[in-house]
Amino acid sequence: MSLLKRIESPSDLKKLPPDQFPILCQEIRDLILPILSNVGGHLASNLGVVELTVALHYLLDTPKDKIVWDTGNQAYAHKLLTGRREQFHTLRQFGGLSGFCKREESVYDAFNAGHAGTGVSAALGMVEAREQLGHSNKVVCVVGDGALTSGMTLEGLQHAGGLHKDFVVILNDNQMSISRNVGAISAYLNRTFTGEFYTRLREETSQLLTTIPQIGENVKRIAMRAEELAKGLILPGLLFEELGFRYVGPIDGHNFEHLLPTLDNVLKLKGPILLHVITKKGLGYEPAMKNPVWFHACSPFDRETGKPIKKSNRPSYSAVAVDTLINLAKQDNRIVAITAAMCEGTGLSSFEKHFPDRVYDVGIAEQHAVTFAAGLATQGMRPVICMYSTFLQRAYDQVVHDVATQDLPVTLCIDRGGLVAEDGTTHHGAFDFSYLRHVPNMVVMAPKDENELQHMMKTCLTYEGPTAVRYPRGATLGVEMDQEPKALPIGQGEILKDGYDVALVAVGVTVRQAREAADRLAQEGISAAVVNARFIKPLDTDLIQKVAKQVKCIVTVEEGCRMGGFGSAVLECLSEADLWHVPTKVLGLPDWYIEQGPQELLREKYGLTADGIYHEAKALMERISLHSMINQPG
């Protein structure tokens, strides 16, 4: 019988002899690989962290002991070992398992996260809660090496080092290599340096040295540096030692003979400890090892070849935005591009091929990216920040404080605006219209198609102030492209179709759906105007007020949250013009976190398809008609 099928919880794992762990790890990889080839997900990092996951659940008493997985996208093996094996095929599907940790899903998931850099802070909060409540459980945080570029991670480490409480941070480093000899020596030394005898000797020697008058502290520091030299780790170790952690490592994260005894010793140590573990991204699957960047967060792929299964021959909105940016950058050497660890995802890798000295990947540091861009803009540069909508949320204060207050010409290319499908709750770009619309000096726009997107890119880079252009995930519509992009008049929408019964006022990807809904309404004798707002801010108030005076009612449509979004802007516009008597229905996303699922399924569920718009418009017209009949004299 399969070893994995015998494990329903970590207590079952503890019954296995450790010499069977390599077999178990292979079974875990053999289960992850075919499922992700069908549904996509974070493959490379999850294949690399299997042994570490097994070791942690074997040595810890979870869920009493807490494991916090920074980001949570490296926790697939964790899910398989904690009672979710039978549901694993539903990963990232509508109604299925989340691709991240989720407390609502399992008591073994200690913290929800989809953004990197939160792990240390969250885990440290659990450490302090343990101390305040008088509990004795262990808390371990697993962070990827990429998270060390996040300022929040460093803030958490600094705080933890100063508190001196028992806390283990495991640095899962999958960017470095470790040779067999170094691995064996390092493992031996770390088993020695974390053993009870050495720990006691280290503490007693430290106390003894500090009692030597005048020179004791200096001698103690020299002894500590000598220890690091003995391990050959002076550079990585010093950083964490200075932050107040005892540094252990690096060790081979795939060798149980090294991993288990070292981790066992580390879990017995007092104070803040950082264990540096070297793993290999994509281990066990050759294509993922050769191309770990693509397989970090991949779409469905052919398991035999490792090649993606393409669903469309049309370019993505990201590709169109970056291609336009490349052409504009050829004409203006002031244009530079910035991203936060998303060069591939935002398409900026293409820009980098043309302008390697004009692209900046600042790592998982969204706040820094925005203020860095502001600094560039003060000196006459034209910085363009390409970032997912959900990640730009993290730099809200910098947009307000560092860019908008100074009215600087910084362009925000907001990728993955709206519904983003399988990554779910933490990744839907639902809030950008709302959190940018109320910022003074901001210009916020969203294209109806890829041709309008290229014109909006041009608009951003010719405007002398902060701008944002928001576009969706996925393939473009395949419309005809103008030969050259041209700047659009700021704050000017367009009427795509005249009508006198109802006005469908839409923005972004919902414009096409509104046009289709209008055609369907026309078949039933309802005359529907269609307005492409283009600009969320400044809103084309003259156009909207003009249309409102010509129709009986208005339906606004946006793929964003209704609260404070584009529809709210239209309502404010009508209120200011005393057009309160025009019934208006606001369509958008509700006031809760949207679940994972295919884009089209979610659009249908929340009424953002042509069919949904049609039914809402028709129902509004029927209510108006009924109200008129009731209020007729006699």
Task: Give the catalytic positions in this structure.
Answer: 281, 366, 394
The packing angle between helices 450-462 and 317-331, to 10°, is 40
Helix (H, G, I), strand (E, B) or coil at 344: coil
- What phi and psi values does residue 251 have, to the nearest 5 degrees? -125, 160
What is the CB-side half-sphere exposure of residue 580 using CA atoms within 13 A?
Answer: 3
Cα distances from 297 to residues 282, 332, 543, in angstroms, run 12, 33, 43
d(CA 469, CA 484): 18
Residues near 258 by beta carbon (within 8 Å), at least 6 away in sequence: 183, 184, 186, 187, 190, 191, 251, 252
Report the b/e string of 14-49 with b at 16+ CB within 10 A.
eebeeeebeebbebbbebbbebbbebbbbbbbbbbb
Cβ-count burial of 11 within 10 angstroms (0-12 exposed, 13-18 middle, 19+ buried)?
A: exposed
d(CA 384, CA 307): 31
Count the Cβ atoms, other than its own, within 10 Å of residue 100.
25
- Looking at the DSSP bridge assignments, the partners of residue 383 are 336
C-alpha closest to that of 17 among 33, 29, 3? 3
Torsion of CA 564, 431, 320, 440, to 10 degrees: 50
Q: What DSSP element (H or E) covers 33?
A: helix 21-39
Cα distances from 614 to residues 386, 521, 526, 562, 605, in angstroms, run 34, 7, 10, 18, 14
* Cα four-point dihedral sign 158, 163, 164, 169: negative
Distance separating the N- and C-terminal Cα atoms of the chain: 82
**Do the beta carbons of residue 412 and residue 443 sit within 8 Å?**
no
Torsion of CA 532, 538, 539, 540, to 10 degrees: -80
Count the Cβ atoms, other than its own, within 10 Å of residue 524.
9
What is the CB-side half-sphere exposure of residue 396 using CA atoms within 13 A?
Answer: 13
The residue count for the chain: 634
